Amino acid sequence: MKYKVFVTTFLLATCVVCAEPPPIQQAASNLAVNVIGKKNMRKVSAVEQVGGGYAVTVEYTAGMGWNARSTRRALTYEFKRVAKAILADPACRQICEITLVPIAKSTKNEDFTMARMMIPRKDLDRIDWAAVLPERLEALAKSKGELWYHPAAR
């Protein structure tokens, strides 16, 4: 007597729900694209903080041919433009810190981070944007937030 063996395979499909980004991330992304430009934007992320609010990180493609002096100037200039736009928008009131990260290409055509600048919102709210100097913005990032330059840009 022969037995027939039937093997049944069950395919389990895993459903991943792709949630929409939080509205704060979308608002910050729109503002950053308007300021930096769609061509140079890489990524905008908003991470909810434990104490409340969101930390927003804006990554963008840096211009070519940056040296130490131009990196510092461009970073503070772009930070000022992005922070001003975000602080002025009522939809972005929950943002508690802003981080700007310019990304550049190396000679081997690999991406690398040129710099990183972060300042908490409580300190940004006290700035007179019409009169702030790049050196003052750098000093504020060093003392109250985060400021890092790639060794090639120091």
Distance CA(63)–CA(50), nearest Å, equals: 35
| Tens-binned pLDDT, residue by residue, of the chain (154 aa) | 555 554 444 433 333 444 567 788 999 999 999 999 999 999 999 999 998 999 999 999 987 666 667 888 889 999 999 999 999 999 999 999 999 999 987 777 788 899 999 999 999 999 999 999 989 999 999 999 999 998 877 7
The domain segmentation of the chain, as residue ranges, is: 23-153
pTM above 0.85, yes or no: no
